[in-house]
């Protein structure tokens, strides 16, 4: 009897101890994914990636938008937000950078909230262009002319589709939607907007070409203006990771609990991200990383790990296709170390014999 109660006490002690010791090490995204790595594992891998790539000098800031050329190219921040609302950040996490093309994901999502996926597919499409993100040739060559919602032409067309009585009302709808995905109020970086608005003749040309093919659904220049504003929204790396985590969590913001994006729309959005999220770099990205992601010329990239969370990295220097060099390296490193590649059976826990 005495022995029995000693055993019981020992068992209770072990249970209490493991609960307290393992609490801070709980698995990231564990609520929804049985194979999520532990927080300690993720922290260690993110730290390794940060140290390994912080002095990487590859790439060059975008300069076709004058403001972006002046941003400190050494800025470097990483954030992970999980579907069970854990947050892990490292480096320059307070800096607010322009979201640029990453905005296109959330305008696509907003258009789908209003019209559903099939209408957006019909009006804009979902095919790779095999050309630069701002290509005029793609508009002229492709049967759909718009390509997909992530090249500039398709993104301007998507913005034109979103309904509103005035351009200001449309802009307010877009900003509100992005803010709900980020879990806090986002604002325009006015200098970025002014800098891009003064130099965006190429996008204006694209909008006129879309008009020629009847693939723009509101006033062309007004649509370019709202598009330019959406690209100039400021985000820090944690806000960006939370926007990604909202997608990872079936459209529900894991921090606020709000269902921002209809769950049934999420797979369509992720399909565009894997196919065109890094423009001409998308095939290589799918090959090496295997995660839906989106880049912006501001230096941000967000990658979504469905059911688990999202990782966002900010580092301004870009490669030839317009994707942040360091951000790609960090995400590839973390995804490979933690078995996040969606095309690998290991991502759902299958290990080789
Ligand atoms: O329209 C543009 O060119 C920019 N506002 C956005 C382009 C962009 O971010 C492409 N990214 N990789």
Q: State the pLDDT confidence band at 205, using cuts at 50, 70 and 90.
A: very high
Where does the pLDDT of residue 4 fall: very low under 50, low under 70, confident under 90, or very high at 90 and above?
A: low
3-state secondary structure of 149: coil
Strands 309-314 vs 187-188: parallel, antiparallel or unpaired: unpaired
Q: How far is residue 140's CA from residue 300's CA, in Å, rounded to a whole number?
A: 29
Q: Specify whether the CB–CB gap between 147 and 136 falls below 8 A.
A: no
- Is 11 a residue whose pLDDT tops 90? no
CA of 64 to the centre of ligand 1 (A): 10
pLDDT score, position 2: 45
Higher pLDDT among residues 103 and 22, named by residue = 103
Residues with CB under 6 A from ligand 1: 100-101, 133-134, 152, 196, 203, 231, 279, 295-297, 322-323
Q: Which residues pair with 301 in a beta bridge?
A: 295, 313
User: Distance, CA 89 to ligand 1 centroid (Å)?
Assistant: 25
Tally of CB atoms within 10 A around 217 = 17
Shortest-distance atom of ligand 1 to CA 323: 12
**What pLDDT, on a 0 to 100 scale, did the predictor assign at position 351?**
83
Tell me the pLDDT band of 20, cut-offs 50, 70 and 90. very low
β-strand partners of 188: 233
In this structure, are residues 159 and 230 in contact, taking their beta carbons and an 8 Å threshold? Answer: yes
Q: In what order do the strands lie in the sheet with 77-82?
A: 87-91, 77-82, 309-314, 300-305, 293-295
Please give the distance of CA 124 from its chain centroid, rounded to a whole number: 20
CB 106 within 8 Å of CB 177: yes
Residue 178: what pLDDT? 99
Distance, in Å, from the CA atom of 330 to the CA atom of 2, rounded to the nearest integer, reads 56
Confidence of residue 133 (pLDDT cuts 50, 70, 90): very high
DSSP 36: P
Q: Residue 168's closest CA among 120, 110, 122, 226?
A: 226
Per-residue pLDDT tens digits for 58-117: 999 999 999 999 999 999 999 999 999 999 999 999 999 999 999 999 999 999 999 999
Q: What is the pLDDT of residue 13?
A: 45
- Reference 68, options 315, 327, 328; nearest CA is 315
Torsion angle defined by CA atoms of residues 317, 320, 326 and 332, in that order, rounded to the nearest 10 degrees: 160
């Amino acid at each position: 009897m005495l022995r029995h109660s000693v055993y019981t006490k020992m068992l209770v002690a072990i249970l209490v101890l493991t609960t307290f010791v393992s609490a801070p090490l709980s698995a990231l995204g564990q609520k929804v994914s049985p194979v999520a790595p532990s927080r300690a594992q993720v922290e260690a891998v993110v730290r390794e990636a940060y140290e390994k790539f912080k002095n990487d000098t590859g790439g060059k800031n975008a300069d076709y938008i004058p403001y972006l050329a002046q941003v400190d190219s050494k800025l470097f921040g990483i954030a992970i937000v999980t579907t069970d609302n854990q947050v892990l950040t490292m480096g320059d996490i307070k800096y607010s950078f322009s979201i640029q093309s990453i905005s296109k994901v959330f305008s696509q999502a907003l258009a789908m909230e209003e019209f559903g996926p099939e209408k957006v597919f019909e009006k804009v499409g979902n095919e790779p262009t095999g050309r630069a993100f701002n290509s005029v040739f793609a508009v002229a060559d492709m049967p759909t002319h718009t390509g997909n919602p992530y090249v500039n032409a398709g993104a301007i067309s998507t913005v034109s589709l979103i309904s509103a009585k005035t351009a200001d009302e449309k802009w307010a709808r877009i900003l509100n939607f992005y803010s709900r995905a980020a879990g806090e109020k986002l604002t325009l970086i006015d200098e970025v907007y002014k800098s891009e608005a003064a130099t965006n003749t190429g996008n204006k040309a694209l909008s006129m070409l879309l008009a020629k093919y009847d693939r723009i659904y509101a006033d062309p220049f007004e649509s370019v203006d709202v598009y330019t504003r959406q690209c100039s929204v400021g985000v820090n790396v944690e806000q960006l990771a939370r926007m990604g985590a909202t997608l990872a969590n079936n459209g529900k913001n894991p921090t606020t609990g709000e269902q921002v994006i209809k769950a049934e729309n999420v797979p369509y959005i992720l399909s565009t991200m894997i196919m065109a999220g890094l423009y001409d770099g998308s095939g290589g990205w799918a090959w090496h990383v295997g995660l839906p992601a989106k880049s912006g010329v501001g230096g941000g990239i967000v990658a979504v790990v469905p059911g688990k969370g999202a990782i966002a990295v900010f580092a301004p220097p870009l490669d030839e296709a317009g994707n942040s060099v360091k951000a790609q390296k960090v995400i590839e490193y973390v995804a490979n170390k933690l078995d996040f590649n969606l095309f690998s059976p290991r991502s759902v826990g299958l290990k080789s014999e």
